Amino acid sequence: MNHRPNSLHMSDIAHSMHPYTNMRLHEEKGPMIMAEGNGARVTDSEGKEYIEGLAGLWSVAVGFSETRLADAAYAQLKRLPYYHSFAHKAHEPSIRLAEKLVEMTPEGLNRVFFTNSGSEANDTVVKMAWFLNNGLGRPEKKKFLSRTKAYHGITIASGSLTGLAGNQKDFDLPAIPVTHLSCPHFWRYGEEGETETEFTARLLKELEDTIIAEGPETIAAFIGEPVMGAGGVMTPPEGYWPGVVEICHKYDILVVSDEVINGFGRTGARFGCEKYGFTPDILVTSKQLTSSYMPLAAIVVNDKVYNAIADNTAKLGNFGHGFTGTGHPVACAVGLENLNIIEERDLMGNAKRLEPMFQDGLRAFADHPLIGEIRGVGLIAGLEMADKKTKQPFGKPGTVAAKVVALAAEEGLICRNVYDTVALCPPLIVTEDDVREIHARLGRALDRALEWAKSEGML
């Protein structure tokens, strides 16, 4: 007979496997157990309250415990708790949400396919690109272009598109044909004496040279996050995205905008592609789509992509892809209500209004000895812990950022260390007072981390 642990903490250690976690270390440390959430704050099982400075996982736009979303889920559970969308079946929530997404996304994106997560969505994008090119008689046009430090998910295909070693090592990825181009992070990868304009030109030349070397007839699509998120919150250099789109379309290569983090106001615009002046062929969104109250993602495509897929389904008699939960009625009902709240409360406008205060307050830490660079846009930012002159981390890579995040939690602020970067991405509902408190708590954590780093001989 198995011994039953006497606390949630011990039970978690005994039975749970956590993502993005050193499992042996977890056996020693155990979890931080969250018990409640309200607005921009969460409370752990010990009663300590925190500002949720990462909006959960870059995602809880409307904050925690929004009763309208709970009511929308309950109403739909009572009316039609589940139905699928296979073989000509449909239900109102998925129809209305698809309609809403077409209304909100850039002009020309007219068709929507639902999945349960961003990873599944990008996995589906790969299959769509292969499917449509086979239908067009171009079976060799299958390769993808991504970037180093990109994050596009963790399934076999989306994990291959991701450009982070930690997501690929010992998973035998990449497992599909993908080429990772240079990361468009000027501070880190700009050459000595190179201007930002010259850096952009160099990256665009690399893109075109790669296309020519690989053969345009072999490349299906370029995928990228307008602002790179989980790789360290990197904003693109001036002119980068319009240049990427121009080159890709010159060679009949689809452009996929991964808006899983960027979408619905995070950058201060509705979508990151609009912030940076381009319209993709395919747009992928999740996270803030439902504020992560329910698992849901959406792929929105233009008519060119849809027609090529639809024509091939007519040839084959079927589109043999989908999930049991595709367009789940409860998730779609929550998503629709969530988007209504975002619009009614002008949360995208709130992100734009608070952007100067949020970003300027963070940039006030620019002279802090631990900080190499501060970057961000809208209500998303990253503070890289590195020597300002050498751009090298202090001590073992990631150590100082992890310490800052741990101390920030002690100060009552949840943020996340992404390698050597401390990432912030608060709910879109934050107020000026919340932003001031984020800055204050982060500042105390940085100062405490500095004293710790000095005591460890890192500075």
Q: What structural domains does the chain harbor?
A: 32-62+346-455 (3.90.1150.10), 68-344 (3.40.640.10)
- Residues 364-391 have a mean pLDDT of 98
Q: What is the pTM of this model?
A: 0.96
User: Rounded to an integer, what is the distance from CA 171 to the centroid of its chain?
Assistant: 21
Helices 399-410 and 432-455 cross at an angle (nearest 10°) of: 130
Residue indicated by tokens 């890579």: 397
- Residues 378-391 have a mean pLDDT of 97
What sign for the dihedral angle of Cα 323, 328, 331, 332? positive
DSSP secondary structure letter of residue 156: H
Task: Name the token pair of 291.
Answer: 């504020």
- The band of 271, judged by pLDDT with boundaries at 50, 70 and 90, is very high
pLDDT at 244: 98
Share of the chain above pLDDT 90, in %: 98
For residue 219, the cross-strand partners are 143
Terminal C-alpha separation, the chain? 53
- Alpha-carbon distance of 362 to 342, in angstroms, equals 25
pLDDT at 3: 41
Q: Is 88 helix (H, G, I), strand (E, B) or coil?
A: coil
Give the β-pairing of 413-414 and 49-52. Answer: parallel
Cβ atoms of 258 and 224 within 8 Å: the answer is: yes
pLDDT tens readout for residues 32-87:
999 999 999 999 999 999 999 999 999 999 999 999 999 999 999 999 999 999 99
Pick the closest to residue 365 from 458, 300, 450, 267 (CA basis): 450
- pLDDT for residue 159 is more than 50: yes
- pLDDT for residue 207 is more than 70: yes
Cβ atoms of 298 and 114 within 8 Å: the answer is: yes
pLDDT tens readout for residues 293-337:
999 999 999 999 999 999 999 999 999 999 999 999 999 999 999
Give the β-pairing of 413-414 and 416-418. Answer: unpaired
- pLDDT for residue 2 is more than 90: no
Contacting residues for 48 by C-beta, under 8 A, at least 6 apart? 412
Residue indicated by tokens 């009625």: 329
- Alpha-carbon distance of 445 to 395, in angstroms, equals 18
- Residues 178-187 have a mean pLDDT of 98
Task: Name the token pair of 279.
Answer: 């319209």
- pLDDT for residue 189 is more than 70: yes
DSSP secondary structure letter of residue 349: H
Task: Name the token pair of 19.
Answer: 């993502």
- pLDDT for residue 4 is more than 80: no
Q: How many Cα neighbours within 13 Å face the side chain of 172?
A: 2
- Torsion-angle region of 426 (φ positive above 0: left; ψ -120 to 50: alpha; else: beta): beta
Q: Is 194 helix (H, G, I), strand (E, B) or coil?
A: coil
Residue indicated by tokens 């789509």: 289
Buried b / exposed e across 97-120, counting CB within 10 Å, b at 16+? Answer: bbebbeebbbeebebbbbbbbbbb
pLDDT at 16: 96
- pLDDT for residue 1 is more than 50: no
Cβ atoms of 389 and 187 within 8 Å: the answer is: no
Pick the closest to residue 442 from 371, 356, 354 (CA basis): 371
- Alpha-carbon distance of 381 to 22, in angstroms, equals 25
Q: What's the length of the chain?
A: 459
Task: Name the token pair of 97.
Answer: 């949400």
If you average pLDDT over every residue of the chain, what do you get?
97
What sign for the dihedral angle of Cα 325, 329, 334, 337? positive
Q: The sheet that has 416-418: what strands, in order across it?
A: 371-377, 380-385, 421-424, 416-418
pLDDT at 6: 57
- Alpha-carbon distance of 308 to 135, in angstroms, equals 7
- The band of 122, judged by pLDDT with boundaries at 50, 70 and 90, is very high
Beta-carbon count within 10 A of 214 CB? 14
